[in-house]
């Protein structure tokens, strides 16, 4: 379960990293980081939900 939390944190980090590392002026890199961060975060949430539904059906 900790892997899902770590994956979610990585997704959040990808979203905020353009401002932390000050590359938000480079729009291509900024949007790349934001889009991939959102994808990673959505997949982490989806995996967590699927994992919970599998455990509840056991």
Distance CA 33, CA 39 (A): 10
Q: List the domain boundaries for the chain.
A: 2-53
Question: What is the maximum alpha-carbon separation in the chain?
Answer: 50
* H helices, E strands: number in the chain: 2, 0
Predicted pLDDT at 1 = 79
Distance CA 9, CA 17 (A): 12
Say whether pTM exceeds 0.85.
no
10-52 pLDDT tens trace: 999 999 999 999 999 999 999 999 999 999 999 999 998 888 7
Predicted pLDDT at 58 = 57
């Amino acid at each position: 379960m900790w892997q899902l939390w770590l994956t979610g944190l990585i997704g959040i980090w990808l979203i905020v990293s353009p401002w932390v590392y000050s590359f938000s002026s480079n729009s291509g890199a900024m949007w790349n980081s934001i889009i991939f961060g959102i994808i990673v975060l959505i997949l982490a949430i989806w995996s967590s939900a699927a994992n919970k539904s599998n455990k509840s059906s056991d």
